[in-house]
Amino acid sequence: MRITILAVGRLKSGPELELFDDYLDRFRKAGRALGYRSIDLVEVESGGGMEAEAERLNAKLPQGAHAIRLDEHGKEHRSAAFSQYIAKLRDRGIPDLCFLIGGAEGYGEAIKAAVPETMAFGKQTWPHRLVRAMLAEQLYRAVSIEAGLPYHKA
């Protein structure tokens, strides 16, 4: 399974980018043996309003991917359940899994219609820079749980 993180806006530098990159590297090392072939970040330009951003997201959404929008109103998963969920998608033969991180204004209607499944990191609103790092960490945690690595201590 290939995983894509599709995000509005560019993360240039700073501690959030370093943390994001670190967790992606960890995911790649642990996930390869479990059948996760790659994980990549695709960024689209922000601005022009939600509908313009939705068009740019839709244009980059991998064809046939199982896609999940990160949204504060989405479904919350415990880490172990999230690990089981993405493993189940992989085991069902889903070739591409894509997580979407919208812009500051949210998602346009076109992307909401195209990607109805949502996921939340709690009820709070999180800065988009942190959401990228949090998603990368949860993906690494998911593969570490599946692999039996000592990272997850719950």
Residues in the chain, total: 154
Whether 7 is covered by a domain: the verdict is: yes
Whether 33 is covered by a domain: the verdict is: yes
Q: What one-letter code names the amino acid at 67? A: A
Whether 153 is covered by a domain: the verdict is: no
Q: What is the pLDDT of residues 12-69, one digit of tens each?
A: 889 999 999 999 999 999 999 999 999 999 999 999 999 999 999 999 999 999 999 9
d(CA 1, CA 96) in angstroms, rounded, equals 6
Q: What is the pLDDT of residues 78-106, one digit of tens each?
A: 999 999 999 999 999 999 999 999 998 99
Q: Where are the alpha helices (DSSP H) in 5-75?
A: 15-31, 50-60
DSSP run (H or E) holding 152: none
Residue 121 above 70 pLDDT?
yes
- The count of structural domains within the chain is 1
- Please state the pTM of the whole predicted model: 0.95
Whether 154 is covered by a domain: the verdict is: no
Whether 131 is covered by a domain: the verdict is: yes
Q: How confident is the model at residue 154 (pLDDT cuts 50, 70, 90)?
A: low
Q: Which of 122, 121, 103, 91 is nearest to 46 (CA)?
A: 103
Whether 19 is covered by a domain: the verdict is: yes
CB-based contacts of 43, cutoff 8 Å, min separation 6: 7, 8, 9, 10, 11
CATH number at residue 13: 3.40.1280.10
Quote the distance between the C-alpha of residue 122 and its chain's center. 15
86 is in which domain, residue-wise? 2-147
